[in-house]
Chain A
Amino acid sequence: MAKYSLYPRRPTSIAPDPLARLGAGALGGASAARRFLFTLIAGVAAPFAPGKAAGVVCRRIAVRQIFFTGFQALPLVSVIAIFVGATLVLQIQLMTARLPAELVGQIVVAVVLRELAPVTTAIIVAGRSGTAIATELGNMRANSEILGLASLAIDPMRFVVAPRLLGTVVSVLVLTVYFGAIAILSGYGFSVLLGGSSLTALRSGVGDALLPADLPLFLVKGLGLGTLVGWVCCHFGLEVGASLTEVPRKASQAVMMCLLVCVVYNAIVTAGFYWLVGPIH
């Protein structure tokens, strides 16, 4: 009995040469990298293209994106920040019961403000809005809506990508500040409630740990992570071909890639920060 194939492939008369396959793979990879870079460059450059009316239309879409990605995520970010801050302070106090409260405050700043807040916020935005962006753009590709926009001389990079990119950048930046503030407040609250330390001691620890260099670090992380989330999700959405079944696959790939690049980016920026600033005492 002939073998049944659920996904029959195009018959080829010539067995593929391994070298040719390698070359084709390399060319395909280079083409994918070029498309990936183009999404970012075109998405960033698009708002500066001529057309005042087009700018007005795209700004309205960007505001809606910021509302959806940033404002509507506030309840979720609040709940996660409260529990993260409380858990962190409890763990520190359990492990370092003999340490002064100022040191606890310093650790909270280092861990929450410099590390947890940017990465956790980026992961929340990627999981909540990144999937929505990749799915929406994937559906638009599969339904020829992107082609339809192009036929109307509407640049998809300006109309579709740029507002979403701006939405994720602004949202990650603002939500990171919000997450850090809520997590630290929650940590203080739990710490004081449990009688582990006084509010004054913790506050002075936080104050001592904050450096002027924290502001650029915060901005570099917020802007970079927001850009990565928007860029990766838009790109994967636009990579969908003609089949709707590709949409969930690309959305899933987009979020996985977001998690990966965000964690790696965060580690690189942190390493660079400590290399520049030196050890903090």
Chain B
Amino acid sequence: MESGISLVDVSFGYGKSVVLRRASLGIPRGGTAVVAGRNGAGKSTLLYVCAGLLPVASGSVTIDGHAPDARHPAALMGAGVRRGFVFQEGGLLSNMNALANVALPLYYHADSLQLEPEQVEARARAALERVGLSGNELYELPAHLSFGVRKRLALARAIALEPNFFYFDDPDVGLDPATAALVHEILCGYRDDPAVTMLVATNRDLLIDRLGVPGYTLRDGVITPRSVPQPPPRLPSRLA
């Protein structure tokens, strides 16, 4: 599979710890997949590898047919691949306030996104509003924001670039139910968008059920397909 996200016989490890053993995965362009696995199974690492953020020891990774180079992350942008990555934690620039965090990639890629400088801030504010952030929170440093707000900020930063390849690492962990529902809604929106290819790492059954897309399980460095989640069987009426 050349388009979408493709991982063929990829091995990766941190020093002597092997995380992926000849792992293979394919998501067609416009498709969505969910990766589940126990804590520490390597879901985040798998997402980094699939996004081309980490160089692999062996095997091949392609995004929309292009091989990403971890040393030249801007190269894919020229090939029309706009990645959005929502980290489980961290990843925000600690010396920039929330608005600047979202506006920075827009300023940086203003020419390829065909944005005028005055449009950048408006687009950043729109992305922040979409995740429910506004007011004084926009001018706070990430360290002064709660975990949930930081998570939404990371989401806003990613969606501001209008990516066509989206990676979510435990997107609803640590969020209150209302915010988690908002995030699920955004994810379902991207799932239904044929222009967006998405990979979600999560253990939340609720999210997996809501997305209802092909899933994989990562265990001992090996990726195995899961069956498409089915609605839970209805209980017999006498037990209901």
Interface residues on A, range: 20 to 34
Shortest beta-carbon distance from B145 to chain A in Å = 14
CB < 8 Å neighbour of B105 from A140, A145, A152, A158: A152
Known A-B contacts A51-B74, A53-B109; the reply to A151 vs B104 at CB < 8 A is no
Q: Does B53 contact A (CB under 8 A)?
A: yes
For chain B, the count of residues having a C-beta within 8 Å of the partner chain is 35
Give chain A residues whose Cβ lies under 8 Å from the Cβ of B48.
Answer: 147
Bound CA span A51–B76, Å: 13
Q: Are A148 and B92 in contact (CB under 8 A)?
A: yes
Q: Are B16 and A10 in contact (CB under 8 A)?
A: yes
Q: Are A144 and B91 in contact (CB under 8 A)?
A: yes
Bound CA span A149–B73, Å: 9
Known A-B contacts A145-B93, A151-B83, A152-B157; the reply to A51 vs B112 at CB < 8 A is yes
Q: Does A186 contact B (CB under 8 A)?
A: no
Bound CA span A158–B77, Å: 15
Bound CA span A170–B65, Å: 42
Known A-B contacts A53-B111, A54-B109, A57-B107; the reply to A155 vs B73 at CB < 8 A is yes
Bound CA span A52–B94, Å: 25
Known A-B contacts A10-B16, A51-B109, A52-B111; the reply to A153 vs B76 at CB < 8 A is yes
Residue numbers of A with Cβ under 8 A of B are 10, 38, 42, 49-54, 56-57, 139-140, 143-145, 147-156, 158-159
Residue numbers of B with Cβ under 8 A of A are 16, 48, 51, 53, 70-74, 76-78, 82-85, 87, 89-94, 104-105, 107-112, 157-158, 161, 167
24 of the cross-chain contacts (CB-CB < 8 Å) are A49-B74, A50-B78, A52-B111, A53-B109, A53-B112, A54-B74, A56-B107, A57-B108, A140-B94, A145-B91, A145-B94, A147-B53, A148-B85, A148-B91, A150-B53, A150-B70, A151-B87, A151-B158, A152-B161, A153-B105, A154-B73, A154-B104, A155-B72, A155-B74
